[in-house]
Amino acid sequence: MHMHIDSGSGSGDGVDALKSKIAVSTRILVRERLIGPFGHSSARLAGTDLVAVLGHTHDDVKDLALTDPDDVVIMDLDGEVVEGTMEAPGERFMHTEIYRARPDVGSVVHAHPMHCIAFSMTDVPLEPIWHLCTLFADGVPVHRSAVQIDNPERGRAVAATLGSHKGVLLQGHGLAVVGASIEEATVSAVNLERSARLQIMAEGLGALSAIDRGELNSDLLTDGLSLEEYTHTQWDYWAMEVT
């Protein structure tokens, strides 16, 4: 049963603004080759148990580089669509179960970036080697399963592997990255894939040197870089490029 949801009241982004941001997030992730045709980003509607998520666009075979707010649906934490014309994505339970387990998480990005997937197949850990990817300095655990996360039990297993981390690799499959906002999760997912590529390149040249933990601030960013600057400088620039 679908319901009408207030488009803009309360704290945080209203539903219309959130749908627009998910559309922008999708276009950024497509441009960076993290998603397409599979993959999706979502965001929690502040103060509710509802989630805005990219709908199941496969039936329409839509170019995700053209994603707009009408392609976003609202679902509850059971994965049931309460507003929108599409179904929720098949792997919606990765999103819902992470939100259940992590009240601090405001957004989840699920993507399939090739360099990160390469790390998911080995015992080589992703290291904090690049100054724009130290948010993951506490490590990126690997979920040792490649199955589709298409039921709540599998979603709970991914959330358990993620724990308190900022991201989790799914073996031979992809990743899930979380953030307090859709902007933070999107920027962090892009930067994790860029850092994975850099690490593969660097390890071909010689011994790897990670950034010293003592150079990071309380947000796990290099000292002198705020979370606001890290997030919005990159998001605003990329959003301009895909608009």
- Cβ-based burial of 141 (10 A; exposed 0-12, middle 13-18, buried ≥19): middle
pLDDT in tens, 115-155: 999 999 999 999 999 999 999 999 999 999 999 999 999 99
pLDDT of residue 36: 85
Does a structural domain hold residue 33? yes
DSSP one-letter code for 49: S
Does a structural domain hold residue 205? yes
C-alpha span between 167 and 56 (Å, rounded): 23
pLDDT in tens, 78-116: 999 999 989 999 999 999 999 999 999 999 999 999 999
pLDDT of residue 8: 47
pLDDT of residue 83: 93
Instruction: Specify the DSSP element, H or E, that contains 65.
Output: none
80 C-beta neighbours (distance < 10 Å), count: 13
pLDDT in tens, 25-51: 999 999 999 998 899 999 999 999 999
Instruction: Specify the DSSP element, H or E, that contains 122.
Output: none
C-alpha span between 67 and 238 (Å, rounded): 15
Does a structural domain hold residue 4? no
pLDDT of residue 89: 93
DSSP one-letter code for 121: T
Does a structural domain hold residue 9? no
pLDDT in tens, 192-242: 999 999 999 999 999 999 999 999 999 999 999 999 999 999 999 999 999
Average pLDDT estimate for 11-36: 91
Does a structural domain hold residue 3? no
> 3-class DSSP state for residue 48?
coil
Report which residue type is found at 48: T
Does a structural domain hold residue 203? yes
Picking from 69, 98, 74, the residue whose alpha carbon sits closest to that of residue 87 is 74
pLDDT in tens, 61-72: 578 888 999 999
Does a structural domain hold residue 2? no
Tell me the residue range of the domain where 93 lies. Answer: 15-242
- Cα distances from 8 to residues 11, 12, 19, 106, in angstroms, run 9, 9, 11, 17
Q: Above 70 in pLDDT, residue 2? A: no
Q: Above 70 in pLDDT, residue 17? A: yes
Confidence of residue 12 (pLDDT cuts 50, 70, 90): low
Does a structural domain hold residue 191? yes
**The domain spanning residue 105 has which CATH number?**
3.40.225.10
- Per cent of the chain over pLDDT 90 is 87
Question: How many domains does the chain contain in total?
Answer: 1
Q: What's the longest Cα–Cα distance across the chain?
A: 58
φ, ψ at 175 (rounded to 5°): -150, 165
